[in-house]
Amino acid sequence: MTFRMLWASFKLIILATLVIGLGYTFAMTGLAEALFPHQANGSLITYHGRTVGSSLVGQQFTSLKFFQGRPSATTPPYNAADSSPSNFGPTNPKLLEEIDSNLHRFLRENPGVKADQVPPAMVESSGSGLDPDIPVEGAILQAPRVARMNHLSIQEVDHLIHQHIHGRFLGIFGHSYVNVLKLNLALEQLKNDK
């Protein structure tokens, strides 16, 4: 390794650091803000003039009048500044405890639901801790409770769920789901309209 080589490398790295590190990052930010400002700024949702979150990032719903999302392993749950899964291995006793307690809570809060109706996603925590979605069946199981707490009919709530279903891409890739925040916003809207 000659000095000439090191000197050439040094100049190349400094050039790349400036052009890519600063130039690329700033240019892409400018371009993104110009072309797709909504996405570039985090797909934020405003409700009655107040920013209530991002449609892409899950948020915690503990109140029984709302549809609830998946268990989140971040501290506190749905901490969007420190994403993390639980990292529990399959034979870790803490995983079994977690699933068991989540299942009991889900069954207690949604009377009439049987354990073998509950999709695993509703009792097992997500990969990011910020999963904004739940499986369609996970919403349908909550419909009777949500209807009762909000003085709506089950048909109205079921209709709302079906309006919010996202299917598989090309019918093949991914999984069907509903976005919890959007569903809850639609629920609020429905109550306000009445």
Q: Which of residues 36-65 bind another protein (CB under 8 A)?
A: 36, 39-44, 47, 50-54, 56-63
Closer of 103 and 154 to another protein (Cβ) = 103
Among positions 33, 153, 162, 191, the unique one binding another protein when judged by CB under 8 A: 33
Show the binding pattern over residues 107-146: x = contacts another protein (CB under 8 A), - = does not.
--------xxxxxxx-xxxxxxxxxxxxx-x---------
Question: Which of 141, 70, 154, 156 lies closest to 111, judged by CA?
Answer: 141
The torsion angles phi and psi of 10, rounded to 5 degrees, stand at: -60, -45
Report the DSSP beta bridge partners of residue 120: none
Q: How far is the CB of 146 from another protein (least distance, A)?
A: 13
Distance in Å, CB of 181 to another protein, minimum: 7
Helices (H) and strands (E) in the chain, counts: 7, 5
Residue 166 β-bridge partners: 177
Long-range contacts of 172-177 (CB under 8 A, 24+ apart): 175/135, 176/135, 176/136, 177/133, 177/134, 177/135, 177/136
Instruction: Map residues 73-92 to x or -, x wherever contact with another protein holds by CB under 8 A.
Output: -----xxxxxxxxxxxxxxx
- 105 contacts another protein (rule: CB under 8 A): no
- Between 121 and 147, CB nearer to another protein: 121
Cβ distance to another protein smaller for residue 14 or 159: 14
Query: Is 13 among the residues that bind another protein (CB under 8 A)?
Result: yes
Outline where DSSP puts E strands in the chain: 44-47, 50-54, 133-134, 165-166, 177-179
Tokens linked to 184 = 């809850």
* Nearer CB in complex with another protein: 45/154: 45
Say whether residue 149 binds another protein (CB under 8 A). no
